[in-house]
Structure formats: C-alpha cells, structure tokens
Chains A and B, each alone.
Chain A
Amino acid sequence: MPPTCDDWLSFVRPWLSEVLVGQQAFDSLRGIARRLPGDGLAALEMRLAPGAEAVDLSLKVSQLYGLTDVFSSPQFRQLLRRWSAGGLPSVSSLWLELDLERAAGNLPDPVICVEIERGSDPAQVLDAVFPALDDAQRALALRCIAGISPPARLLYLFDLHARGSAAIRLEILGLAPDAASAFLTRLAPHLAPAVADAAPLLAGAERPHLSFDVGPEGIGPRAGLEGSFVRWPHREPRWRELFDRLVERGLCAPEKRDAVFAWPGQETFWTAPGRWPAEAAGTRGVCVRALSHVKVVAQPDRAPEAKAYLLFGWIGPADPE
C-alpha cells in the first residue's frame, strides 16, 4: 500500500510548531490527509496574524490513484479524468486546495488549481478548462489575459466552485508588486489602492504573483500578491526582511515568523528510522520541508492578510525498490 499524505504529515509534525498548527487543527488535517496520496508535494497554508488559527491543505496531483472516487464533485471528477487521459495537454499540473473550515469531518471538494504549461495559449486553456463559462465572464477573463505583458504570464487558473462561487481565479507570474498595481488600475481600479498599499510588503521578492477573481459580474473584491525567493531562508536574508515587514505592520506574529523559519529541512529514512513510514514508503527517498512563498491578500478598506505556504512531501527514489 503506497504512502498517504497523512504518513508524511505525521512524519513532519515535530518540525511544525504548535504556534502554527494547534493539535485540534492538526488532527483535522490528518483526517483529510489520510485519504489523499502521499507520492508528491503538499502545502500547508497558514495565516500569520496573531491569533489567526485557520490552516488549509493543498496537494499537487501527479497521478489519478483513487482520487476520482474520493471527491464527490462531478466537475472535479470530469476534469481529473480529462487531464489524466491527456485531454488537457497544456495543463502541466493540478493542485487541489482543501479548505479545512469546509471539511466538517468530511473531505471537502477541492478548489482546483490548473497550472498552465509555459508557451501554451492561455486563452485556449481557459476554454478547455472552463468550457461552460458565462459569456461576459469569459470576455472579461480574456481581456485580463490580453493585458498581461511578457515576460509576465498566466500561470494558474482556479475553479472556485467548491467555495460556492462561479468566479474563476487568474494568477499571473512575473508582475512585480508595483506593476501589479498599474495592471489593476487599468482592469480593476477598485482593487488598485489596496494592492498599492500592500505592495511594499513584498518589495524585492522574486517570482511575484498577482491573483484576482473574475466572476460573471466582474472582478471580485480581493487580490492576492505573492512573493518568494529562490534560495532558502538560511541562504537568503531577504526572507527575514520580508517577514520583519509583516511583523512591523502587525500582519504576522513574531513567534509565527520564527516557527516558519524553523520549518525548512529534509530527512531520509536513515536520519529518522523509527518515525519514517517505512512500511508504506520503503526506506528510499527524501522527505522535504520547504518554505514556498508568502501571500498578502489585499481588499479595499481592510487591513491586508498575510499567509505563508509550507511545503512538505516525499521525493521518492529514482529507481523503485
């Protein structure tokens, strides 16, 4: 029996501070993770504000396994089958976002995040992934896509049906925060001031992302700015500077910042044989823990919200045992 996501979540628990994930939330995460495959990467999304305890789980899908049977959403099943059968050639990967607050003891239907293959036509991908999109919504999404100037590009499309929304999310890679503000001034002026206010928090970040929702009635009231650095925190002091800015604005508890920096690392069977899920995963491969990125959610007339995304997962052996 192959490892589950829960095998690795449980394995990495000693490095996951209670400051970030309390025991009750961890138990709920495990309830979800034990029904998901553990052959790749997963991410924990955590709110950094003092007192904010919500945690969500995302999973990168590399194979079908029994996933079509695990979730009830017919849209998701159909999409997964099409992708697995090669029917979405410009989709390089799928991430599933599982919101813990929607779980209520069951496996919530996932928000589906589609990664668009570099060099492919994003408008074609939009039509392939969302064939039944409202006409006005499609036209607006295409206008947004057409407004992206290279080298920035559309990286992800999100299906938000699982959150009860008909909107889709566009996530653009390569727009620096100030450019993101200018982009939104043209397309969603109601978001531009909030994004301009949040932008300095992510100043200098590498791999900047901008995300916003496009619904039948227009562009939604929230925008996400993301940033990260290629190098890990122990080799890249700008990670610390970014988090310090969040702390100074009251968007991140200092103890959460410190817990995030204590997270990255790697283990093999040989560094932790008593805890490694050997019966499911064998003795090969590496379990990685990484800081992926920071997201700042900007909304008009509200303080920004900061989140950190912690990756974990098993990089299996090149040649199976």
Chain B
Amino acid sequence: MSRREIERFLSDLQSDAGLRQELTDLGQDREACVRWANAKGYWFTLDEAFETGAFDSDLSEDDLEQVAGGWCGNELTTG
C-alpha cells in the first residue's frame, strides 16, 4: 500500500509543477516533506520513503570520481 502511495506521490510530483514549487519552499528537510505529503493525502512514512528509494541520495565520493574519469581513462594512472 505504502509503495503504491509513494509511487502516486512521485508521479504527481513529476507532472505537477505547482506541487514541486510547494516542495521547494519546504527546503531539504525530508521529515517535513513527508509531513507535507501526508497533509496532502499521500499516506507513507519517512522510513517507507527511504526503503523504497524514493529519496534518491547523493553518490559517494568514489562513485563521483568514477564518473569524472569517464573521459580520462580511469584504469591507468601515473604521477
């Protein structure tokens, strides 16, 4: 049920610029985001949002450095 609710929430965010603007005004507090979503009628918890990967997290430093080496040839270093 919660997964469906989260998907409904994400789908509505994707299509509704007004909803995204409201979210912008909340800042980056995930807990506040979930409270706001609940108030809008989307029923899920903060834990459920993280478990389903709804809140994409940043890449690690190592992953970022892999990406940045995409042109340079990561497999061979000198210096």
Contact = CB atoms under 8 A, between A and B. Distances in A.
B79 A288 contact: no
Contacts of B64: 232, 266, 288, 290
Contact of A293 (B13, B54, B71, B79): B71
Interface in A93-146: 95, 118
Contact of A271 (B15, B28, B53): B28
Contact of B79 (A176, A270, A285): A176
B10 interface: yes
Contact of A282 (B14, B28, B58, B71): B14
Interface residues of A, number: 52
B39 interface: no
Interface in A9-35: none
A231 interface: yes
B76 A273 contact: no
Contact size range, B: 35 or more
Interface in A144-172: 151-153, 155
Contacts of A41: 67, 70
A274 B21 contact: yes
A271 B20 CA distance: 11
25 contacts: A174-B76, A174-B78, A205-B79, A206-B79, A207-B69, A207-B74, A208-B79, A232-B61, A232-B64, A232-B68, A270-B56, A273-B21, A274-B23, A278-B14, A279-B14, A279-B17, A283-B13, A283-B14, A286-B56, A288-B64, A291-B68, A315-B59, A317-B56, A321-B7, A321-B10
Given A228-B68, A292-B71, A317-B56, 11 more contacts: A155-B73, A173-B76, A205-B79, A207-B74, A209-B73, A270-B33, A272-B24, A286-B58, A288-B64, A288-B68, A311-B68
Interface of B: 7, 10, 13-15, 17, 20-21, 23-24, 28, 30, 33, 53-59, 61, 64-65, 67-79
